[in-house]
A and B are shown apart, each in its own frame.
Chain A
Amino acid sequence: MSGEIDVIGSFANEEMCVHAIEELKDAHIQPTRVFAPIPSEHINHALGYGRSPVRALVLTGGITGILTGFAVTIGTSMEWWLNAGGKPIVSLPPFIIIAFELMILFGGTSAVLGFLLNSRMPQIDPIPGYSERFSSDRFGVLVRCPESEKDRVEGILKGAGGETVVHEAA
């Protein structure tokens, strides 16, 4: 036992949740985890998050798709010079269509893979502090702190409008 404890506050709406995060940060306490039933830019902003690295993966996937599209079309055309109606063997306008479709395919697949990798999903183990209401109609703020800090954290969460504040061993 490390002497740490999880304090979890439950909030009725997004504004209160954001307020609680700000109050904690003003007290120099970093929330360990926030649960929400909806995506919230305000929560991300309050937590000080930047942009997700998923976008870099999507860009990489998209560029890979374009290169793959041109490699497949030009490569296979050069493998066997099939003259169809005198059209150029390497005819870029139609090949752009294939490159475009593969850009979307690789980019989209990268978006989903990027999300799964960065979120560490699929996740089998339960996440500490999760309550079933956090997927439905409540927002949760979890702070992992030394036991000696418990009362102070509880006080901040209640003061910010926490409906219920519970604690469990970390």
Chain B
Amino acid sequence: MAAAAEPVSGPTYADIDRGVRKIMEAPGFVYWVWVGFCFTLVAIAAALWTRQIYVGLGVTGLRQGPMWAMYITNFVFWVGIAHSGTLISAILYLFRTRWRTAVYRVAETMTLFAVLTAGLFPIIHVGRPWYAYWLLPYPNERSLQPDFRSPLVWDAFAVSTYLTISALFLVMGLIPDVANARDVAKGWRKTLYTILSLGWRGTDTQWQHWSMAYLLLAGLATPLVLSVHSVVSWDFAMAQLPGWHSTIFAPYFVAGAIFSGVAMVLTLLIPMRKIMHLEDLVTEWHIDNLAKVVLLTSLIVSYSYGVESFIVWYGKDPIEMMTFHERYFGPHGWVFWVCIFCNCIAPLPLFSPRVRRNTVVLFIITIFVNIGMWFERFMIIAVSQENNFNPSQWAIYHPSITEIMITVGSFAWFLGLFSLFARFMPIISMTELKEGIHWLREAVRDDYYPGLK
């Protein structure tokens, strides 16, 4: 004879549903103003891109020497942002990390939109976007095929695989939650969620196959995430250019990607948690653990900076030495010191638990990290090209208004898409929170977040 259901302390399944469904209620005026603002900036960026296509790449600051600059910086930055999403959703899933349940959907959504944003930049950069398909192997009358020994072709395969797998992983996780939303929705939302839930009813066979598919997708996404940013780093490391030609680039880029991505998760999560009153579901326990990941990866990135410089000093190659001297003290030397401050020094207060739990201070630190990591990409990509083996190619890169506004537009595009998703889809996984409800209750009992009492 089974015992009757005992009353539980802390959140229940119904509390979790109520909390998440509340986010999905009809948004207010301020929300639409924000979304409108984001897409206005996107429209401005699109207009400037149209002009660039019409006039040519002369409207950018690209010139002999620094031929890869802001657009490729944005590409690497956004691919990096995407990585922590897969780390939190896939790698930490395999390790059964308890605190990921409340934050993984935010991270995975961020991944998808960040890869979508990143994917635009090589197309914007090439100048003639209608030839982008040349990177793909397709039958043609002259048997001309892409050179598979080129890292740029590896990149096309890696990033498009990453986009596909991230989208599938997000959709797989969404199906049970969308079905949950379908069962209480009305009007057009009911129709939308009915279509998107694909007839999910949570039967034993559906869960059996879902669990296996989800586990294997996580298993496949784990080596993928490490490979994609390694491949992105080889776009540079395979070249002979001083400042790029480094064997530590793959782990260095992967660590930097996780660092910037987790910081971006916190940048999105902290205001969202406050505005949407999610303190009951995204507790200080979750925020604290994310902050620890930021701190750990900051230390790895700081170590990488040290090792990179040490290798150059130890190698004594005069051109490398000159490139790094210019990196620290040249016309763009300030970029390096911004990186050092934002990526190495600003996160150090996170050693203190009080700082990790102070969401205002934490939010400011994550903004610094976002800025620092964007400039790190800029330093590696653009500043390294300003000094080359050939002095006739030395040039200082100055970004044009077109490049700046398209960069701003990319942030607006990302934030606009994320804001739309957060209001119309379950941005917190109800299923996984329920699966780990014992851990959530433990966090509440341990007074990690007293507000839940």
Q: Which of A46-70 contact B (CB under 8 A)?
A: 47, 49, 51-52, 54-55, 58, 62
Q: Among residues 125 to 161 in chain B, which have CB atoms less than 8 Å away from a CB atom of chain A?
A: 137, 143-149, 153-154, 157-158, 161
A153-168 to B contact mask, C-beta < 8 Å, 1/0: 0000001110100000
Q: Does B205 contact A (CB under 8 A)?
A: yes
Query: Do A37 and B217 contact each other (CB < 8 Å), given the known contacts A122-B199, A159-B1?
Result: no
Nearest A residue (CB) for B213: A115
Min CB distance B232 to A, Å, is: 12
Q: Decide if B158 touches A36 in the complex (CB within 8 Å).
A: no
Tell me how far the C-beta of B86 lies from the nearest C-beta in chain A, rounded to whole angstroms. 12
Which of A20, A34, A104, A130 contacts B161 (CB under 8 A)? A104
Contacts A39-B207, A54-B213 hold; do A80 and B143 have CB atoms under 8 A apart?
yes
Q: Establish whether residues A12 and B17, one from each chain, have CB atoms under 8 Å apart when the complex forms.
A: no
Q: Does A1 contact B (CB under 8 A)?
A: no
- Give CA–CA (A41, B153) in the complex, Å: 42
Are the C-beta atoms of A72 and B199 separated by less than 8 Å?
Answer: no
Chain A residue numbers with a CB within 8 Å of B158 are 97, 101
Tell which of A19, A38, A98 touches B2, judged by Cβ atoms closer than 8 Å. Answer: A19
CB distance from A124 to the nearest CB of B (A): 6
Query: Is the pair A101, B161 in contact by a Cβ cutoff of 8 Å?
Result: yes
Chain A: minimal CB distance from B89 (Å): 13
A-chain residues with CB within 8 Å of residue B390 when the two chains form the complex: none
Contact B210 A39 (CB under 8 A): yes
Q: CB-CB < 8 A to A159: which residues of B?
A: 1-2
Chain A residue at minimum C-beta to C-beta distance from B145: A76
Return the CB mask of A115-146 against B: 1 if under 8 Å, else 0. 11011011111010010101111000000000
Give the CA-CA distance A58 to B214 in the complex, in Å: 11
Instruction: Give the CA-CA distance A67 to B154 in the complex, in Å.
Output: 17
Residues B1-24 near A (CB distance < 8 A): 1-5, 12-14, 17
Q: Which residue of chain B has the shortest Cβ distance to A163 in the bound complex?
A: B5
Judging by beta carbons under 8 Å apart, are A136 and B183 in contact? yes
The answer to whether B204 touches A47 (Cβ under 8 A) is yes
Pair A101/B157 contact, Cβ less than 8 Å: yes
Across-interface contacts of A51 in B (CB, < 8 A): 212
Complex-state Cα separation, A37 to B202, whole angstroms? 6
A58 vs B220: C-alpha distance in the bound complex, in angstroms? 10
Does B435 touch A at the CB level, under 8 Å? yes
Check A52–B208 contact: CB distance below 8 A.
yes
Q: How long is the Cα–Cα vector from A108 to B1 in the complex, in angstroms? A: 43
> Is B404 close to A, CB under 8 A?
no
Which residues of chain A have C-beta atoms less than 8 A from B216's C-beta?
Answer: 54-55, 58, 107, 111
B223 at the interface (CB under 8 A from A): yes
> Which residues does A use to contact B, with CB under 8 Å?
12-13, 15-16, 19-20, 33-41, 43-44, 47, 49, 51-52, 54-55, 58, 62, 72-73, 76-77, 79-80, 82, 84, 87, 91, 94-95, 97-98, 100-102, 104-105, 107-109, 111-112, 114-116, 118-119, 121-125, 127, 130, 132, 134-137, 159-161, 163
Q: Which 6 A-B residue pairings sit nearest by Cβ, starting from the closest?
A: A123-B199, A76-B145, A52-B212, A137-B13, A115-B213, A12-B5
- Return 25 A-B CB contacts under 8 Å, by A number: A20-B2, A33-B204, A43-B204, A52-B208, A52-B212, A54-B213, A58-B213, A72-B148, A80-B143, A82-B147, A91-B149, A94-B154, A104-B161, A104-B227, A111-B220, A112-B171, A112-B213, A112-B217, A119-B210, A123-B198, A124-B199, A135-B183, A136-B13, A137-B13, A159-B2
